[in-house]
Amino acid sequence: MSFSPLIRQLIDALRGLPGVGPKTAQRMALNMLERDRNVARHLAHALEAAMDGVGYCSRCRMLSETDICSLCSDPRRDDGLLCILQSPADVWAIEQAGGFNGRYFVLKGHLSPIDGQGPEEIGIPALLQALEGREVTEVILATNPTVEGEATAHYIANLLRPRGIRVSRLAHGIPLGGELEFIDGGTLAHALAGRTPIA
């Protein structure tokens, strides 16, 4: 049995969401149409409002409804500490974890020449411009621990070291509560290389 054009259009639209395959999209579409039309209308309204009203902060490039986001406009944050991340989702992860009170700069992904993602595409010129006139003493590179994320971190570190800015990287290693026998070799190698003395 094939679906009508409008149902097929809804299923295809839902399949565009990350992690949603054809069966999940089909279940979601049919559930909305059969049971939760008010919820679906509310979702459609919220999506339209977000698409029209959410842009990017002109300072850190975080998702924001205003030109300067609430994180950048907070005077209690440390201007000397800048954390560079790959996406707005990474900022929310750091904020939810707590313990960081500096500023952020959001790249648009990571360096990947194969995918046409060079320094300009991910925002390296905007990062260098954002550093002009600011008294940043330390930059924390919080790109993902993938080959591309590591390459991006090294590229940025090489650009910033001549400016006299301390450059650090998020630690990689064994998760809290983890057991060594279940940790993969790459993670263990990172943990050994990044070991720190016990105070």
CATH 3.40.1360.10 domain residues, the chain: 63-169
The residue assigned the tokens 């989702």 is: 89
CATH of domain 5-53: 1.10.8.420
Spell out, as residue ranges, where the chain has pLDDT lower than 50: none
CA atoms within 13 A on the CB side of 176: 1
Q: Are 51 and 45 in contact (CB under 8 A)?
A: no
Rounded Cα–Cα distance for residues 152 and 168 (Å): 13
pTM metric for this prediction? 0.82
pLDDT for 93? 92
For residues 127 and 108, the answer to whether their CB atoms sit within 8 Å is no
**Record: fold of 63-169:** Dna Topoisomerase Vi A Subunit; Chain: A, domain 2 (3.40.1360)
pLDDT at residue 137 in the model: 92
CB-CB contact of 172 with 187 (8 Å) = yes
- Domain limits, CATH 1.10.8.420, in the chain: 5-53
The predicted-structure confidence for 73-123, as pLDDT tens digits, reads as follows 999 999 999 999 999 999 999 999 888 999 999 999 998 988 888 889 999
